[in-house]
Structure 1
C-alpha cells in the first residue's frame, strides 16, 4: 500500500494559496452590500437554522464547535474556535488542520456528548453543531449562547458551510473558498486527462472500522461528493449502498470492493478493524486494484472525518498525486 509522505509540500502550497485567496477577499458582496464580517461588533443578524431563525452577533469572537465539519468550516473561514469536541479517540482537534489555526482550543468533551459546563465556562457568543448530533441538547446549548444547528452532517456539507459562514459573518470569505475549491477540482479532472478519461477510472473508498463491518462508501457522503466533483467513475456496488452511504461487508466479502483504484482508511485499532485479516487474504490479493498496485492508504481523519473545504483541497491534491502515478 502507498502512503502519503510526499504530498506535504503540495498541500502546504495549496493551503498558502487558499489563505492568500481568503486574505484578498473584499468586504462587499457582488451586490455591493456590506457583509456581516464588517458590520458593527455589537449588532446582530438572523441565521436560518434547522431549529428555526436564530439571532447571532454580526462578528462572533468566541465560537464553540461541536463536530468536525464545523471545526473545518471555522478554520477555512479564518476563525479559531475557543472550544471544540474531541475529533478522534486521542486528540482534541483534526491533525490535518494547520496547527496555527487550532492551538489553544479547549476540548469540551466528545462529539454527540459535549460537556455543557465546560462550554458555558468558555463564555461563547456562538455555538455551531447539527441537529443529528445535538438536537436533544438544543435548549441547554441555547441557554449558554446562540446555537446554530444544521439538519445533519456529511453529505450536505456544502450547504452546511454556507450556514456556518452566515453565522460567523464571513460570507465573502466563503465565496472565495468555494470558488478556489471548484477551480481546484476542475484542475484535478484536467490532470487526469479530462472528463472522459476520469470517468473511465472506477474508484472505491474502503474504510476498516473497529468493532464493525468494512464499509465500501457509496455516493451520498462527503467523500462521494468530492469524487463526483472530480468526475471519476464509481463501481456498480456503490449504487447498492444503504441510503447511498455505504455497503458494509465482512472480510469474506471483500471481493465486492473490486475497482480500478481503491483508497483505504482505518478508524480505530487496525487489529480490531480486521485490516491484516482482510488484506492478507486471497480474495484481497485477487482484486484488480491490488494486482495493479493501485491501492492507496489514506488518512481517515482527512478523508472521512474532516468534512469541509480545508480537508477537501488536501484530498484533491492526494487524488491527483495517486491517480496520475
Structure 2
C-alpha cells in the first residue's frame, strides 16, 4: 500500500532532481516520431519509458486537463483548484461532445494534496504533473504507480508543456497543427494593429487581494503576441504584481479585463477608485472567466483568451 509517509519522503529527492534536470528545448521535446511505441519521452526530470499509447491518463496539475482534452483524450482522474469545478466551465463549453465522459472523471482532490490511494486504484498508464506539484508530491512514488511525465507549469511555459504532453500521448502532429492555427490567428490580428495599439490591463480580485497580471503571465504573453500595448504603469516583467486598493489606478487602461474569485467582485466594486477608472467610466471594463485567463495554463484556455481579446478590443 502506498502510504503518505513514503509519499512525503520522496519529495526532497524529487525536488533535488528538478534542480539538477537539464533545460529542454522545443526540439528535444518532440522526439521520437509520433506513432513510435514504446518510446522514451523527454521531460523536466529526464526521460520516461512509455510502453504503449496511453489511454488511462491522470493529470495531477490543473491546466493539464485542458491539454489532454485539446488533444482528444479524456483523463480518468484529475485534481481541482480549491473551491472550483473539477472541469472548468470554459472547457465544458469548448468540448460539449465530451459532456458525459467529463462527468465520469474521478475527483482526486485538491492539486496540492491529491488522494494517492484513489489515484492508484484507477490503474493509470500515464501520470502527468508539473514542477509546482513536486513541492508536495514525490516523483518516485508516482513512478511506482505508472510512467510519470513532469512539465514546467506556470503560464509562460504553456506551449512547451503542451508539446511534452502531446509527445507522451503520441499526438505531436495534432499539437503542431493546433498551434499553427492559433499562431496564424494571432499574427493576423497583430498585423492589423496600427502604430499606437490600444492598451490592455488584466486584474484578478481574489477576496480582498488585488493582482495585476504582468507580461510574464499566460495572458500577458498572449496580449504581447497580439501586439496589444500595456499602460505606462505596467511596464514590468514577472507573472503578477499585488497592488493595494489605493493603487487601483495602476490597473487602468483603454481596455480593462477583470476576473474575481470568492468575494473578489464585491470587494473590488466597493473600492473608491473603481468607478473613477477610465475603462470603467467608458464601459470598457470587461468581466472575464478566471479559470481560463488566470488559473489554467492550457491551449484551450489560450484559445479562449485570444478569441475574447480579438473579439473585444478595438482602437480607441
Q: Is the TM value for this pair above 0.5?
A: yes
1:281: how far off? 3.8
Q: Which of structure 1's runs of 4+ aligned residues deviate more than 4 A?
A: none
Q: TM-score, normalised by structure 2?
A: 0.82
Are residues 1:304 and 2:294 paired?
A: yes
The C-alpha deviation readout for 1:147-186, integer Å capped at 9, x for no partner, is: 1001333211111111111111110001111011112212
Could you tell me whether the CA contact under 8 Å between 1:263 and 1:295 is conserved in 2? Answer: yes
- 1:195 maps to which residue? 193
Q: How does 1:95-114 map to 2 (within 5 A)?
A: 95-97=89-91, 98-101=95-98, 102-114=102-114
Structural mapping, 1:63-82, within 5 Å = 63-82=57-76
Contact 1:47 1:54 in 2 (8 A): yes
**Partner of 2:235: helix, strand, or coil?**
helix
Q: Is the 8 A contact 1:86 1:109 kept in 2?
A: yes
Alignment of 1:171-320 (within 5 A): 171-189=172-190, 194-196=192-194, 200-210=197-207, 213-240=209-236, 244-267=238-261, 269-270=262-263, 273=264, 275-320=265-310
* Count of equivalent residues: 278
Write the distance in 1 (CA, Å) between the matches of 2:152 and 2:308: 30
Offset at residue 100 of structure 1 (A)? 3.5
SS at match of 2:58: strand
> What SS does structure 2 have at the residue aligned with 1:301?
helix
For residues 170 and 262 of structure 1, the distance between their equivalents in structure 2, rounded to whole angstroms, comes to 37
> Which segment drifts farther, 46-55 or 121-130?
46-55
Flag structure 2 segments of 5+ consecutive residues without an equivalent: 1-30
Kept in 1, the 8 Å contact 2:205–2:268? The answer is no
Q: Secondary structure at the match of 2:248?
A: helix
Match of 1:125 in 2: 125
User: What's the TM-score, normalizing by structure 1?
Assistant: 0.80
Deviations for 1:229-269, whole angstroms, at most 9, x for unmatched residues?
1110012333345xx111211222211212111000012x1
